[in-house]
């Protein structure tokens, strides 16, 4: 059994057709306003690029360090925490 592959363009065209049909059916009297909103959303989404898995991991790591500076080896808090722990360990 072969797998069906639909490329991005085909999916996008089909999705666009479905959205237009739904807007025609459900929001006949507000169609122009909804079309404008839909186009604005599409423009915003098209401004962003897809990132690779490695780029996503790098971004996630940086965000984690920002959220908790104690885990970032380059932060002053990390250094202070490390020195405090080492002082406690050496004291015993």
Scanning the structure block, which residue is given the tokens 């459900």?
A: 26
Total domains present in the chain: 1
Residues 6+ apart with CB under 8 A from 25: none
Is residue 4, in this structure, part of any structural domain at all? no
pLDDT of residue 40: 92
Could you give the CA distance from residue 73 to residue 89 in angstroms, rounded to a whole number? 19
Could you give the CA distance from residue 61 to residue 66 in angstroms, rounded to a whole number? 9
DSSP-derived 3-state class of residue 74? coil
pTM of the model: 0.36
Is residue 2, in this structure, part of any structural domain at all? no
Is residue 58, in this structure, part of any structural domain at all? yes
Could you give the CA distance from residue 34 to residue 85 in angstroms, rounded to a whole number? 59
Query: Which residues of the chain fall below pLDDT 70?
Result: 1-12, 65
Is residue 76, in this structure, part of any structural domain at all? yes
Is residue 1, in this structure, part of any structural domain at all? no
Domain boundaries, position 62: 9-91
């Amino acid at each position: 059994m072969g797998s069906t592959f639909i490329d991005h363009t085909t999916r996008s065209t089909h999705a666009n057709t479905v959205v237009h049909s739904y807007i025609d059916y459900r929001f006949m009297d507000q169609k122009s306003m909804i079309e404008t909103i839909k186009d604005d959303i599409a423009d915003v989404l098209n401004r962003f690029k897809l990132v690779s898995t490695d780029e996503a991991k790098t971004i996630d790591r940086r965000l984690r360090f920002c959220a908790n500076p104690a885990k970032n080896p380059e932060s002053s808090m990390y250094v202070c925490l490390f020195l405090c722990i080492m002082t406690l360990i050496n004291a015993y």
